[in-house]
Amino acid sequence: MKFFLATLLFSLAQVMTLSAQTTNEFLVKQLQYSHSVENWFAPVNVATEGLTAEKANWHDDSGNHSIAQLVSHLVFWNERLLKGIKGETVTDFSGDNDATFSEISEEEWIEMVKKLDQILTEIETESRKMEGKQLEGWSETLANIASHNAYHTGQIVYIRKQQGWWR
């Protein structure tokens, strides 16, 4: 009974804290946590930090994606999201998600990591400005992209740990 009561009180405190935050603040924090702010898990900036293109392009023989391919995929989807938020034209998607996981060269790797950081920073900036109907229309997508980014960042960290390249 004590455990149940403690759990209930903890849950109530969490809901009250969340209610005090605006949806906007909450979503921006989730985006930051998956991008550059360490919280419960490593963000993508930390997960890609200090990797050479050679390591980023490594993959096993089972058809799993390399870190570089995962970053390429994140750039593809986050760039589309950013264009949509800004009201820019978003080209039709062919439906071939595998095409978003590209192999990249040494020079492209450095630029790809910078590009992902820039795109994620812009998404956070644009999200902070959202209000009313715009926020209502984008909130679910923003929550999903933060989760999507965290999911693939977890894959990056897993590869690094597997190879002995993690902290």
Residue 45 in domain: yes
pTM for this entry: 0.86
**What tokens does 30 get?**
């989730």
Question: Which domain range does residue 94 map to?
Answer: 23-163
DSSP state of 58: -
Residue 93 in domain: yes
Residue 8 in domain: no
For residue range 16-63, list pLDDT tens digits in order: 555 546 889 999 999 999 999 999 999 999 999 999 999 999 999 999
Residue 152 in domain: yes
Residue 49 in domain: yes
Residue 140 in domain: yes
Residue 5 in domain: no
For residue range 72-85, list pLDDT tens digits in order: 999 999 999 999 99
Q: What is the CATH number of the domain that holds 122?
A: 1.20.120.450
Per the structure, the count of domains in the chain is 1
What is the rounded CA–CA span in Å between residue 23 and residue 122? 18
Residue 51 in domain: yes
For residue range 84-120, list pLDDT tens digits in order: 999 999 999 999 999 999 989 988 999 999 999 999 9
Residue 112 burial (C-beta neighbours within 10 Å; 0-12, 13-18, 19+) = buried
